[in-house]
């Protein structure tokens, strides 16, 4: 009887985890895209594969107001007609609020890619982000100046 309980628990856990994965994939497919101008840093190799550490243009512009060690606060980004987010106010533009936690903004700073393809992403100019429910962001792709995915 005890073995059956463990088996049932494992099946329920797998079903819940699988349902969460399916819901997240659907959220990413339906989420609107926003582009962030990036300043890529050299790709690095980890045990988990190659990745690129991303630095965003808005972070450089907002650096004076958002220093590490400060209390947490929000930054409002304005999204232009091309979907590019920036700190310059644009009349009648959509906005996106990012939270600064005292150290960094709540934006993914790593982009993982297949080992050996780092040269492809050296030309990246924008990070294509998906805005998920709750204001979370996920990196969907890196793009060139014409917004073509690399």
Residue 107's closest CA among 64, 75, 70? Answer: 75
Predicted confidence (pLDDT) per residue in 61-78, tens digit: 777 677 676 677 788 888
SS3 127: strand
Same domain, residue pair 108 and 65: yes
Say whether pTM exceeds 0.85: no
> Do residues 54 and 70 both lie within one domain?
yes
Residue 101 included in any domain: yes
In a domain, 99, yes or no: yes
Q: Give how many domains the chain has, as a whole number.
A: 2
Write the CA distances from 96 to 41, 87, 133, 137, integer angstroms. 24, 10, 12, 11
**Domain enclosing residue 125, as ranges:** 32-143
41 in the same domain as 26: no
CA-based torsion, 114, 115, 118, 119: positive or negative: negative
User: How confident is the model at residue 14, as a pLDDT?
Assistant: 92
Residue 150 lies in a domain: no
């Amino acid at each position: 009887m005890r073995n059956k309980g463990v088996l049932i628990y494992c099946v329920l856990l797998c079903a819940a985890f699988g349902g969460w994965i399916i819901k997240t994939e659907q959220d990413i497919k339906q989420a609107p895209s926003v582009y962030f101008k990036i300043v890529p840093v050299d790709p690095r190799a980890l045990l988990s594969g190659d990745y690129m550490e991303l630095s965003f243009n808005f972070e450089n512009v907002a650096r004076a107001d958002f220093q590490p060690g400060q209390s947490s606060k929000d930054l409002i980004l304005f999204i232009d007609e091309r979907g590019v987010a920036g700190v310059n106010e644009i009349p009648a533009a959509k906005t996106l609020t990012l939270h600064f936690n005292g150290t960094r903004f709540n934006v993914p700073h790593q982009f993982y890619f297949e080992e050996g393809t780092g040269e492809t992403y050296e030309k990246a100019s924008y990070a294509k982000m998906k805005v998920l429910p709750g204001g979370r962001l996920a990196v969907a792709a890196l793009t060139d100046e014409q917004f073509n995915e690399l």
